[in-house]
Chain A
Amino acid sequence: MNVTTFKTLVLREYWENKSLSRTPVIISCVILFALIVGMFTAQSFIFSMGDNQLFLDKGLSEISDANLSELSQAITGFQYGVFLAPLTIGLIFVLFFYSLGSLYNDRRDRSILFWKSMPVSDFQTVMSKVFSAFVVAPSLTAAVAVVAQVVGLVLLTIMVWINGGSAWNIVWSQSSLFTVIFNDFMALFLLALWMAPILGWLWLVSAYAKKGAFLIAVFVPLGVMLVEGLMLGSAHFGTIIGEHFAQLEYLGESMVEKGHPFGVFSSTGFWIGLVISAACIALSVYIRRYRDDSY
C-alpha cells in the first residue's frame, strides 16, 4: 500500500471529521471550567473557616505520614476519574457516529463519485477509516486527556500554594504522571478495540444503507432481540451484547487494581469481537466496491 496515498486518505478523514479532535477538547474545557469553579468554592470555604493555616497543617500532617499511598491513589484517581472517564465516554460517541457516517455520507451527497474518480482502491479507502477509528481518534483523545490532566495538576498546584503547602510533595511526586500518560493511550486504544465489533457493524450498515443508517444500526439489533424473545423465548443475543458491554468494567477495574488496562486481554469475548469486526470490515469493502446505487 502506497504510504503517501494512505497518509492523504487518513488526513482526508481528519478534514471531514473535525469532531475527532473537537469533541475531547470541548469535553476537557467543560471539565476544567467546572474544576476551576469548584476550586473557587472550596477555597472560599477554607477562607471562611478563618484559620486556614490550621486546616492545612492538620491536613498536611495527616497526609505526609502513613497514608501516602492513599494520596497517590487519590491523585491518579483524580486524573482518571475526572478527565479520562468522561473523555472515554466522549470517544465512544465520536467513534459511533464517525463509523456510521464514514461509508454513508459520501454516498448521500454523491461526492463518492469524486473519491472514486481517483486511483484509490476501496480496500485502501475503508482501511483509512478503520485506521482513523482505531488509531487516530484514540490518540487525539489521549493527547487531549494528557494536556487536560497536566492543567488539572497545575490547578491543584495553585490551590496547594495558596494554602502554603508543597506542591511537589503533595501533587507532582504522587501523580505517577508517566504511568497515567501511558495508561491514557493504552486505555483508549483498548476501548476502540473493545468497540471493534460494534464499529464493524456500523461500517457494514454505513456501506449498505440507502437511507436511515442510524435507524438501521440501532433498530436491527433491537429487532433481533425482540424476534428471538418472541420466537424462541430466549435472550442469547441480548446476553452477548450485555456481556460485551460488561467488559468495559474489566477495562476500568484493571486500570484501578492492576495499574494497567490489559486485563481485558483475558476475556475471550474481546478476541471474538475482533474477529467479528474483521469479517464486517471485509464485507464492507466488498459492498463499497460492488454496490451500484451510487450514480
Chain B
Amino acid sequence: MSNVVTARSLSKSYGEFNALKSVNFSVQRGRIVGLIGPNGAGKTTILKSILGLTTFDGHLDVFGLDPQKDRHKLMQKVCFIADVAVLPRWLKVSQALDFVEGVHPRFNREKAERFLSKTKINKNSKVGHLSKGMVTQLHLALVLAIEVELLVLDEPTLGLDILYRKDFYNELLTEFFDEDRSIIVTTHQVEEVENLLTDLMFIKNGEIILDSTMDEVSERFVEVMVSSDKAEQAKEYKPIAEREVFGRKVYLFDGLSPEVAQSLGDIHRPSISDLFVAKMREVSA
C-alpha cells in the first residue's frame, strides 16, 4: 500500500519548547487515522506541518510534495477542516459554492448542492445568520464535495451538539471515504471515532507513544475483569492500568497471551479512551 504521508525525524520547536521531538510516522492510502493526545501534545503541530501551515525541521513528504514549498499545489489533493465555524460571517451560502467552484478544480458542485438540499440551509443566507450546526454542515458539504485524496480534520465536532456529531461522522463515511482516500482526524471525543478508525496514533509531549492499526491494538491489548482472589496473581503480569468496577478489579494488559488472560477472568477489548488514559499515565509514571 502506498504512503500518502511520510514523516521522518519531524521536529518543531517554539523557542525553548519542543512541540515535536523528532517523530516518525506514515499514513497509508485508504486508512482513517485517529491522532489522539492531550492539549499541547503536538497534534495540531503535526497537522499544521502536513498542511504547510507551519515551518518544521526534518523530512515530511505528502503526496511527493514538500508542504513547506508547494502548499497551494498540495491543497489540490488535501483539504482540511480546522475547527468549526471558520467560515467568514459575511459570506453567503451561494457565494461559498461559487468561490470553491472557482478556485478548486476538483469541486463537484452538484454533490455539494445535494448535501445542502438535505439540510435547512437557505442558499441566500449569510454564514453569520446560520446556527453553529448549520455552519458545520455547510463546511462539510463544501469539503466533502471536493474530490481530494487526503482529508485532515482537527476537532471537527467541537462545540456541536450530539445530533450533528453523529450525522457528521456518518456522512464522512458514506459520502467521502473509500479505499483511495485517507482521513486524519484529531478529537477529544475518542468514543465517537472509535468504530471509525483503522489506525491509532497516541501522542504525548511531542512524542508518538503508540502507532498501530486497530487490529493490532485489539490483539495486543486486553482488559481482564478479575475476581478479588485472583488480583495478586494478575498483578504479577504487570498490568498497565487498573480500575474497579462493582468491587471487581479490571486490569489492562499490554501483550498478555490470550490463554493467561482467560485463566485470570473475563476478557474484553479495552475502549480507546481507557487505553488512552492508561498509556498517558504509563509514560508519565
Tell me whether A118 and B83 are in contact in the complex, defined as CB-CB below 8 angstroms, given that A15-B91, A109-B88 are known contacts.
no
Residues of A within 8 A of B104 (CB): 118-119
B75 touches A109 (CB 8 A): no
Instruction: Please tell me if A5 contacts chain B, counting CB pairs below 8 Å.
Output: yes
Residues of A close to B79: CB separation below 8 A: 117
Known: A15-B91, A110-B86, A119-B105. 17 other contacts (CB 8 A): A4-B103, A8-B99, A11-B99, A16-B88, A106-B88, A109-B86, A111-B87, A113-B80, A113-B83, A114-B82, A114-B139, A116-B75, A119-B72, A120-B75, A121-B71, A292-B48, A295-B44
B88 touches A7 (CB 8 A): no
A15 in contact with B103 given A110-B83, A121-B71 (CB within 8 Å): no
Quote the shortest CB–CB distance from B25 to chain A (angstroms): 20
Could you say which of A9, A111, A117, A119 contacts B88, with CB atoms under 8 Å apart?
A111
Interface centre among B48, B81, B91, B99 (most CB of A within 10 A): B99
Q: Indicate if A178 sits at the interface (CB-CB under 8 A).
A: no
Q: Is A294 an interface residue (CB 8 A)?
A: yes
Minimum CB–CB distance for A127 against chain B, Å: 13
Asked whether B90 lies within 8 Å of A16 as measured between CB atoms, the reply is: yes
Structural contact, B75 and A119, CB atoms closer than 8 A:
yes
Instruction: Determine if B100 and A292 form an interchain contact, defined as CB atoms under 8 angstroms apart.
Output: no
Q: Using A117-B82, A121-B71 as known contacts, say yes or no to A5 and B102 having CB atoms under 8 A apart.
A: yes
Using Cβ atoms and an 8 Å threshold, which residues of chain B touch A122? Answer: 72
Asked if B92 CB lies within 8 Å of chain A CBs, one says yes
Interface residues of A in 263-295 (CB under 8 A from B): 289-290, 292, 294-295
- Among A8, A111, A113, A289, which residue has its beta carbon within 8 angstroms of that of B103? A8
Taking CB atoms, residues of chain A closer than 8 Å to B98 are: 8, 11
Chain A residue at minimum C-beta to C-beta distance from B82: A113
Measured between beta carbons, the chain B residues less than 8 angstroms from A289 are: 71
Chain A residues close to B by CB (< 8 Å) = 4-5, 7-9, 11-12, 15-16, 106, 109-114, 116-122, 124, 289-290, 292, 294-295
Are A121 and B72 within 8 A (Cβ)?
A: yes
Interface residues on B, range: 35 or more
Residues of B55-92 whose CB lies within 8 A of A: 55, 71-76, 79-83, 86-92
Closest 7 CB pairs of A and B: A8-B102, A111-B88, A119-B75, A121-B72, A113-B82, A119-B76, A113-B86
A5 contacts B103, C-beta separation under 8 Å: yes
Interface residues, chain B, CB within 8 Å of chain A? 44, 48, 51, 53-55, 71-76, 79-83, 86-92, 95, 98-105, 139, 143
Q: List 21 A-B contacts (CB under 8 A).
A: A7-B102, A12-B99, A16-B88, A16-B91, A110-B86, A111-B91, A113-B80, A113-B82, A113-B83, A114-B87, A114-B139, A116-B75, A117-B82, A118-B75, A119-B105, A121-B71, A290-B55, A292-B55, A294-B53, A295-B48, A295-B82
Residue of B nearest to A12 (CB): B99
Task: For B73, list chain A residues within 8 Å (CB).
Answer: 119
Knowing A113-B82, A117-B82, A120-B72, the reply to whether A9 touches B53 (Cβ < 8 A) is no
Measured CB to CB, the closest approach of chain A to B108, in angstroms, equals: 15
In the complex, the chain A residue whose C-beta lies closest to that of B142 is A114
Residues of chain A within 8 A of B75, CB atoms compared: 116-120
Within the complex, what minimum Cβ distance (angstroms) separates A253 from chain B? 40
- Closest B residue, CB atoms, query A105: B88
C-alpha gap A124/B103 in the complex (Å): 11
Residue of B nearest to A2 (CB): B103
Q: Which residue of B lies closest to A124 (CB)?
A: B72
B238 to chain A, nearest CB (A): 40
Compute how far the CA of A15 lies from the CA of B91 in the bound complex, rounded to whole angstroms. 7
Q: Which residues of A contact B44 (CB under 8 A)?
A: 295
A4 contacts B55, C-beta separation under 8 Å: no
Report Cα–Cα, A12/B54, bound state, in Å: 25
Residue contact B103 to A9, C-beta cutoff 8 Å: yes
The verdict on A111 contacting B86 (CB below 8 Å), with A8-B99, A8-B103, A15-B91 known, is yes
CB A150 to nearest CB in B, in angstroms, measures 31
CB pair B90 A15 closer than 8 Å: yes
A64 to B184, CA, bound (A): 81
